[in-house]
Chain A
């Protein structure tokens, strides 16, 4: 401590006029992003997610899964291209959803809880930053991280599909349809990312001391929700499955094969395969699933707003 505070130019002469926070939300976001940029995990996690997602896509893309269809011309054997629109519709929410559920609760639950664990909470809570800006800023950054991971997964799907189409065109004769892949990702994959991020963040903010329990509980719930909902047998609940897994299962391989048989009873092999590729690249009608997904996203945002309103700067605990 080298000099006297009062001798310094801006400190000590007289206390400052009250601090104002015209851009408090932007300040929180900017500094949280800056902090994350210095953390090695911020760069490692996307790499890990890309590697895991690509491995899964590679495994799916190279799995020919032979199917047989009996037609007037005899039995036809073919493989389903799991990186086609049809294949990705089936696999994205389940396989990539699994990768997402493994990472997102761990990224988002601690966005505010981390300050209590690291004991930086008291330093921050005695600053002039408004609670709404602190919580809101942390949420938006954790959401940005989650969306970033979702984009990494989209990138891995596209990369693997393009790569496999180049190296083994025989088994993947359908060229990847990038617009279909993006639509599927946006409708089936993004809403679960938003829901899981928001719920993880809100619960971690409200009960920071239970953050590990919350992460594990959300992870389990994510994996169990599809089997639980499917056992309820109440109306069309599949559309309301927040994980999109039941939506993905709604159009089964069997249904596609039935359709294929109906369309190719009396056609040549060439026409058969042409019909198969057309069916594989067809986007399913997703209109009925959009509203439930939007409702879930709305729910996610609502719980975050609730967590912001209920957030307490003070913690009733002994020092």
Chain B
């Protein structure tokens, strides 16, 4: 089971969303992170056979998906960032519908739908029309449909958007339990999602790979670039102008700041252990891209 992305570029009119992007993926979870417009969704839509690359190719088990898209779609689970539902259907019917479109025999489809409804905690409302669902419930239906054919390649774009913290943690655990036998591509803005479950992190910026590493590797790259300091409000304001601030807390003894900077931003600043969010900010401050 292997997914190879080979020098893929995508141009929308005059804008390049992806530039010569290459990636080789084997079973496990790959977290795609990067700011808005970095090209994460474009990359995922190309892999999901929803977009054609301007140049380059994507290979699934050695086959070009432009020519053999159906072989990939048979084993694909995809949760788009933004998706609609059929208002005529209930949650259960909608899942049965997509199971049928994915080619599942009806007996197996019914069994899976029941399991997934329980898994995403929607069994109680499964016979309610989808129009009555909240954003979080709709997102859980989206997660269930992506898993319905037990995919070998699971692509999830901002899957935890709209989920409450408890559901988010459950979803992460669920994803972690699936990583052994499939490739999971997870795009998110929420660093906690990838920090908890991704074995590999691909940071994108302006359509290119900024770094392809592990969460630990990213933290190592950020060592010596995160600083903490408690100062008076005036100094805090001055430091905020000069450096990138990741944390700012007003305390009785002054303003506590955590700063991202290649050099010591203030003589009293102490080097601090970076967290993944700060490591991402630090890497994004570097100008050259891979």
Contact = CB atoms under 8 A, between A and B. Distances in A.
Contacts of A30: 100
A316 B170 CA distance: 34
A2 B112 contact: no
Contacts of B116: 11
Contacts of B83: 119-120, 122-123
A2 B104 CA distance: 24
B177 A5 contact: yes
A1 B117 CA distance: 8
Given A5-B174, A35-B89, A313 B84 contact: no
B75 to A, nearest CB: 6
B57 interface: no
B147 interface: yes
B151 A19 contact: no
Given A14-B181, A31-B101, A319-B82, A313 B69 contact: yes
Interface stretch (B47-55, B191-199, B221-229, B230-238): B47-55
A232 to B, nearest CB: 42
A15 B75 contact: yes
Nearest to B122: A1
A267 interface: no
A4 B69 CA distance: 31
A4 B97 CA distance: 23
B98 interface: yes
A27 B178 contact: no
Interface string B85-121: 1101100010001101111100010011001101111
Nearest to B143: A1
Interface in A1-58: 1-6, 8-12, 14-16, 18-21, 24, 27-28, 30-31, 34-36, 38-39
A194 to B, nearest CB: 26
Contacts of A36: 88
Nearest to A21: B103
Contacts of A14: 150, 181
A318 B49 contact: no
B69 to A, nearest CB: 7
Nearest to A119: B84
B182 interface: yes
Contacts of B85: 118, 120
Contact of A18 (B74, B111, B167): B74
Output the residue of B48, B140, B149 with the most chain A CB within 10 A. Answer: B149
A96 to B, nearest CB: 29
A127 B152 contact: no
Interface string A181-217: 0000000000000000000000000000000000000
Interface in A304-319: 313-316, 318-319
A239 B108 CA distance: 54
Given A11-B147, A31-B101, A4 B74 contact: no
A72 to B, nearest CB: 67
B42 interface: yes
A59 B262 CA distance: 86
A15 B45 contact: no
Contact of B97 (A3, A8, A35, A319): A35
A129 interface: yes
B85 to A, nearest CB: 7
A67 B168 CA distance: 79
A15 to B, nearest CB: 4
Interface in B158-184: 167, 170-171, 173-174, 177-178, 181-182
B280 interface: no
Contacts of A162: none
A10 B105 CA distance: 13
B97 A316 contact: no
A144 interface: no
Contacts of B178: 5-6, 12
Interface string A76-104: 00000000000000000000000000000
A27 to B, nearest CB: 5
B74 A10 contact: no
Contacts of B45: 122, 319
A301 to B, nearest CB: 25
B49 A125 contact: yes
Among A12, A21, A119: residue with most chain B CB under 10 A: A12
A126 B151 CA distance: 12
B98 A19 contact: no
Contact of B145 (A19, A28, A35, A123): A123
26 contacts: A1-B170, A4-B174, A10-B111, A10-B115, A11-B116, A11-B119, A12-B177, A15-B151, A15-B182, A19-B103, A34-B97, A38-B88, A38-B93, A118-B84, A119-B80, A119-B83, A122-B50, A123-B80, A123-B145, A124-B98, A126-B76, A126-B78, A128-B102, A129-B101, A314-B49, A319-B41
Interface of B: 12, 17, 41-42, 45, 48-52, 69-71, 73-76, 78, 80-86, 88-89, 93, 97-98, 100-104, 108, 111-112, 115-116, 118-121, 140, 145, 147, 149-152, 167, 170-171, 173-174, 177-178, 181-182
- Shortest 6 CB-CB distances between A and B: which pairs? A19-B103, A119-B84, A1-B170, A38-B88, A18-B74, A118-B84
